[in-house]
Structure 1
């Protein structure tokens, strides 16, 4: 009798599960979208995992808190599956897949195991696929959506992405991640523009109490409510201590909040949030609109006078003019006062000590000036091109004057009440059914016969077409093969690069233009593959620029091996640099004085080639330690140059430079005062980088510029160095006073003095007083 009981118990434990609530899923088992009872639960019953309805006949496989059904993770948030015959299946080869209506695989863990594998939902809310030895093959904690749970790490390879709205769980426009400066940031990545808004973009890292020199890039929330990050950002929840449940969520409105579960009221309460002013979050109402916070009602949006909504249900697309901007005559324009209104960023001109008439006249001279922001107390005048991030605040003390055609002059009370709710939600409507047709036998036969004949004809046409183009391709292939062999520059398919990067999984860097992944090409070469942000330029324009960059060949420039231009995909393939970036090596104290000097010399040599030896004039516009990479011999190579920065020599007013480029703290003053952009902007940035290398300072104390062109004058690193060299307390040992203490006095004093003096020349405010990069290289390389 005992044996019979044991047999049935073992069968119940190891037989494939088809439906019911349970803690694990074994090989060969599945969960069905048609069975609401098919749910995984954690041993403590706090978390559940299963199919979650996100719209009409639309489901996502998700993890949620059992008590409130609050979502914390989704597998297929951007591709819901049908409510009929969709399954999550753990295959016998160890792969976990999600199929839509039994036909299409839309999500998979890409795992493989010959041993026994099971899927378990842990008490932490982590969904884990592991083998019998306890080795984790895959876990949901490595792929967060919009929420971090206690003890779940945010790393350089992960990020939080907000939902689209309260009821639309697909990916929204806000991201929480470590940027390329190793700083934990909030980014608005909208339909047309993107910008970081937290920490405040006008602050440099040390002013925001952040550290850029760290290479771990890890942030974690513990169960007591303490959040800590490797960039020195920390906070404690208002209810610090033992609380039943917590979650850190990037909400659809762009604010990241810590929620605690209040057991008495059975609800979530906010115990911390990053931004206390909701309207200061970028992109909340889209272009040409205003945000106003109303107590008790939340954020409200309103179109500017003379503008109307682009999308009647979605404020993120903003408003569009009712008039034709291209036909707006400067003599037929008026300026409408918008009291206590400010638009952040996108200045085409900044002027100080201007009268109001001078300010408006300056705007009228610019075809792309749509408003001015003017302060009567100081005479500061900002001419605005794009009207983004607009907000109304009674205590702002700032006024904006909107440029409109004279036809609107009689309607000066066009600003409507802020009655439109910018948090309107759209629901996913996916009414998908699969109904079997019931044709009679004869009709089915005729249909199959017609399909067969049609298929045969198509096959014949395809064969003839292949024969026609085969001859043409054979000759082209010879020429192409010769070119590839000579330059190693080739066109890759998107499928090749996706395979090389294992589905773009190993992220090694992120910047303004896209994300960089490590990959292994079919010829076993290790490559750095940059996946550019979705571009507006066409394929022909992209290929024209890439072909120029591909021909650039210098030992101190990163070598491009190829590209991909397929549909909307734009990717660049570079050589992989073993020792990473200069920033990482400075933070790890891996460089001695000779290596630092050689890095400065090699960087100058590479930039001199870009500026003076190329057929096209290539400006980098973002020289910083993160964009100087080191190979196996610590030889420097300048990276992230070229695209959208090509310019003919002698052309000073190139529209490619109509907006600021670069990184705060490394930007020359030409960007602020709307002066012609030349190669001297790279010279200035180079000088900052050299002083960082020599002094070991992890912040730039120079003249920092913001996206709105405002200049903040703090004690500069350059001023500090000059004070040591030429000040009243200057001594013969001034170079010893500024050298990085990690050098421990081991360096060539004469060569380092030459390097510092050259760096200070590069930082002259007048660009004509700065040397060229060729002159810098010649000076540093002279005996």
Structure 2
């Protein structure tokens, strides 16, 4: 039954039940801007779209966001074909679909003349077709894609998405491949390793929920999930599409149906490191990062840009090797790699030492550059003329050599881009040196004045650097390891320990008390670590712990935070002699939600915490909640990889979302799940994963929902609380059950959580959360087991005949599921 089902799925994705019919002889004219062929619900339209006042392309667009999803294009380059203002796009009486210039010349043809085309149609999925009298498509835009795929559009063997020199194709083994010039394969994604036997007809499809799936009749499950957009499953009005971009990267984009033109956001990229795209900076160009953005430059001042207005077109030697009147030398480029991907047959691979890798290329007439990969294998790649694509980065373990004429003239630091014009280097050096010297003298004067003023006011000798901590919170201070050793008295006063390292108390020379976290497993280089810390320190919110500074010295990686005297929330929730009143608890719950909302929805880049728990919620003198460790997930995963090995996952028992266990992508909804567990603990004062005779041997979070179903809300609330706000308690309990739903799409966004807690929006009755066992481990932090079993579902038919009143709210005993819904809803006027 599987093959017929898949055939039916493919057929339904090709032929829509609702489409607009365009009769033979119909014509779109560039001179009439109001003409278009639109789908029945006006989601997509085909028109002659102006790209300049006198240039037009025949294109299908997603109307709500003005996204171009297909165009009549050149098959070799993928470039859209252009006509002038007299151009037409016509469906001729013989069935041919043609783009014709004002002069009458044919620019593009569908090659369907006299093949039985009866009409044209465009449906609500964006597919434009030329069917025959039986409805069979002779030609369709879905079968002739350009650079974009929309949901339900099949991508099969033989089809190509093309953009300039780059293309996406699918081979018989079920692998998606990105290629440069149809030769160099620099990225691949496949599902054939999970399939036994040969694939009969592999294909890919982007689903409307943002998941890229692989399909084949030989699949036992029908489909395999291969890639996820960061917003997968979010919103019913989100339109997503897959595009082969001109920079060589394949991306999934998302746009809200109400967003308007231009508000399109990339939510997944095939190549996470853009500089790894072959040919991104052209022949002999070097790709590097500047403020986290890829930029292109030349290997040295011996080169100049081919086009000063477009640095991606590569570089050329100022003096060709064959025209060199003197000696030829080798320019050494540290931390630089000339990319090598199979099947580059022009490359030669040797196992050579550092000096030999340079000399062998120098002495070879066919070699123009070489790369020594310092990964222990000693591989030396010889690059021959044709195309050389470079990548330079502080953490690359490679050294490269380039053949140049005469003396090698290295670039200024960080590969400043050359303009191709000769400059007076000596004069430039004198000017720069003078400016630097004057700046240093001014800084010395400022520091001396500042020190003199501070010494006069106080008896201590506090460095100006520490004083800046009090006034320039936006700029993290770089500390030496020795300074932090002294401030913490040799790391002697330990405040606690978490999944990312231990925390110690310290005092700066200006008497500011700090908390110093020693990070474990952070292997970034100095430049990358500082860039990440700068990103984290730019986050400012009342409910986030302030980052004071950092240390990146040798293998030492430390973060310096403000010290909060009341410590972490878990001390007040789970210590018998410590407690908080209900209003403090509710304010902490609300403040924590606001802090997480800021990380998810208000920062420039969404920061996923990955370890929300009471131990990471700190309290100041007035018990204001401040989320800590909010940047450590970003530091631990510098390339923002969405798929993590289960063996390397760090989390805390009782707070991990089911996605960690099911090998699904980690999104902000994981933090929502963890927050829901914390919220339940704030209400109950008990750890959600604990079992006891009182909970009938069940996890507390599961037991709590059962009690809620019975109407026994009082049993969930911490017995230490003398007075509570009943309305706030019930809101908190309902929100917590929504947050811990198994399906991420059922959990609310954190901004919605804040609104529900504040009572701004009504809260619907949550379904029963299907909790998942998280394996076992000793201690708080754990490494997950891959063997996971789901807890069985439960029934509530044996509810007690009566239940006590709760905080002046009468909760009648439930008589049925429908009655329970009405009664619980009536407590707050819920829907």
- For the criterion TM > 0.5, the same-fold answer is no
| Structure whose CA Rg is larger | 2
TM-score range, shorter chain: 0.3 to 0.5
TM-score (norm 2): 0.42
TM-score (norm 1): 0.44
Q: Which has the higher contact order (CA 8 A, sep 6+)?
A: 1
